[in-house]
Amino acid sequence: MIDQAISTGAGGGTGNPHRTTTVFRIPTMDCRNEEAAIRNLLAGVQEVESLSFDLAQRRLTVVHALATPQLLLQALAGIGMPATVDAEPDPASGNACGGACSSGCGSTSAATTDVFTIPNMDCRNEVAAIRARLEPLNGVSSLAFDVTARRLSVVHTLPSPAPLLEHLQAIGMQARLGADTAEPAPSPGNAESDCGPCGKPAVSLAPAPAASGNTTKFLITNMDCPTEEALIRKRLRKVKEIDGLDFDLINRRLAVQHRLRDPAPVLEALGEIGMKATVEQEAGTRAKGQAVYLIEQMDCPTEESLLRKALEGMPGINGLQFDLMSRRLAVSHSLPDEAPITAAIERLGMAPVLQDLSRPAPAVNRDFGTGISKAQWLRMAGAGLLAIGAEVMAFSGMGESSWPVVAASLAAIALGGFETLKKGWIALRTLSLNMNLLMTIAVIGAALIGQWPEAAVVIWLFGIAEMIEALSLDRARNAIRKLMDLAPETALVKQADDRWEEVKAETVPLSALVRVRPGERIALDGVVVSGASAVNQAPITGESMPVEKNPGDTVFAGTINERGTLEFEVRSRKGETTLDRIARSVQEAQGQRAPTQRFVDRFASVYTPIVFALAIAIAVIPPLFFGAAWFDWTYKALVMLVIACPCALVISTPVTVVSGLAAAARRGILIKGGLYLEQGRLLRAVALDKTGTLTHGRPALTDTVPQGSLSQSEVLRLAASLDALSEHPVATAIVNGYGNQPHATVQRFEALAGRGVRGDIDGQTYYIGNHRLATELGVASEPVRALLEQFEAQAKTAVVLATDKQALAVLAVTDTVRDSSKQAVAELKRLGVEPVMLTGDNGKTAAAVAAQVGITDARGDLLPQDKLEAIEKLASQGPVGMVGDGVNDAPALAKSNIGFAMGAAGTDTAIETADVALMQDDLRKLPEFITLSRRVGSVLKTNIAFAIATKVVFMVLAFTGHASLWLAILADMGASLAVVFNGLRLLGGTTSSDKSRAN
Question: Average pLDDT in the 390-409 region?
Answer: 83
- List the single range of 385-389, 512-516, 590-594 with lowest mean pLDDT: 590-594
Q: Which residues of 409-436 are buried (b: 16+ CB within 10 A; e: fewer)?
A: bbbbbbbbbeebbebbebbeebebbbbb
Query: Which residue type, as a one-letter code, is found at position 431?
Result: L
* 810, β-bridge pairs: 705, 800
- Contact (CB, 8 A) for 806 and 708: yes
- pLDDT tens for 934-945 read 998 899 888 888
Name the band, by pLDDT with cuts 50, 70 and 90, for residue 571.
Answer: confident
Q: Is the pLDDT of residue 515 over 90?
A: yes
- pLDDT tens for 898-917 read 888 777 554 555 555 567 87
CA 995, chain centre distance (Å): 29
Name the band, by pLDDT with cuts 50, 70 and 90, for residue 6.
Answer: very low
Name the band, by pLDDT with cuts 50, 70 and 90, for residue 96.
Answer: very low
- Contact (CB, 8 A) for 2 and 83: no
Q: Which residue has the higher pLDDT, 387 or 180?
A: 387
Q: Is the pLDDT of residue 182 over 60?
A: no
Most distant CA atoms of the chain, gap in Å: 116
Q: Which residue has the higher pLDDT, 311 or 350?
A: 311
Q: Residue 290 phi/psi, 5° resolution?
A: -130, 120
Q: How many CA atoms lie within 13 A of 330 on its CB side?
A: 11
H or E element, residue 116: strand 112-117
Q: How far apart are CA 630 and CA 652, in angstroms?
A: 36
Q: Which residue has the higher pLDDT, 11 or 783?
A: 783
Q: How far apart are CA 634 and CA 624, in angstroms?
A: 12
- pLDDT tens for 785-841 read 989 888 877 777 889 999 988 999 999 988 778 888 899 999 999 999 999 998 877
- pLDDT tens for 477-486 read 565 566 666 7
Q: How far apart are CA 811 and CA 256, in angstroms?
A: 58
SS3 23: strand
Question: Average pLDDT in the 730-751 region?
Answer: 88
Question: Average pLDDT in the 413-442 region?
Answer: 78
* 220, β-bridge pairs: 277
What is the predicted pLDDT for the residue at 702?
84
Q: Residue 939 phi/psi, 5° resolution?
A: -65, -40
186-193 — which CB contacts under 8 Å span 24+ positions? 188/95, 188/96, 188/97, 189/89, 189/94, 189/95, 189/96, 190/96, 191/86, 191/87, 191/88, 191/89, 191/96, 192/86, 192/96, 193/96, 193/97
CA-nearest of 377, 191, 210, 215 to 281 is 215
427-435 — which CB contacts under 8 Å span 24+ positions? 427/231, 430/231, 430/234, 430/235, 430/273, 432/230, 432/231, 432/234, 433/608, 433/609, 433/612, 434/227, 434/230, 434/231, 434/608, 435/227, 435/645, 435/646, 435/647
Q: Which residue has the higher pLDDT, 501 or 584?
A: 501
Q: What angle do CA 561, 566, 570 make, to 5 degrees?
A: 100
What is the predicted pLDDT for the residue at 32?
58
Cβ-based neighbours of 94, under 8 Å, separated by 6 or more: 189
Q: 285 to each of 83, 246, 328, 355, how far by Cα in Å? A: 33, 20, 17, 9
- pLDDT tens for 883-897 read 865 445 656 766 788
Q: Give me the active site residues, please.
A: 689
Mean pLDDT of the chain: 75
* Number of C-beta neighbours around residue 815 at 10 A: 24
Name the band, by pLDDT with cuts 50, 70 and 90, for residue 472.
Answer: low
* 758, β-bridge pairs: 750, 767
- Contact (CB, 8 A) for 933 and 926: no
What is the predicted pLDDT for the residue at 281?
61
* Number of C-beta neighbours around residue 541 at 10 A: 25
Cβ-based neighbours of 536, under 8 Å, separated by 6 or more: 546, 559, 560, 562
Q: How far apart are CA 849 and CA 831, in angstroms?
A: 22
Name the band, by pLDDT with cuts 50, 70 and 90, for residue 462.
Answer: confident
Q: Is the pLDDT of residue 196 over 70?
A: no
What is the predicted pLDDT for the residue at 835?
93
Q: 142 to each of 74, 236, 531, 868, how far by Cα in Å? A: 12, 33, 54, 16
Q: Residue 634 phi/psi, 5° resolution?
A: -65, -40
Q: Is the pLDDT of residue 439 over 70?
A: yes
pTM of this structure? 0.53
Cβ-based neighbours of 594, under 8 Å, separated by 6 or more: 125, 653, 657, 673, 674, 675, 677, 678
Name the band, by pLDDT with cuts 50, 70 and 90, for residue 513.
Answer: very high
- pLDDT tens for 364-392 read 444 444 456 677 778 888 888 988 888 78
- pLDDT above 90 covers a percentage of the chain that reads 9
- Contact (CB, 8 A) for 792 and 844: yes
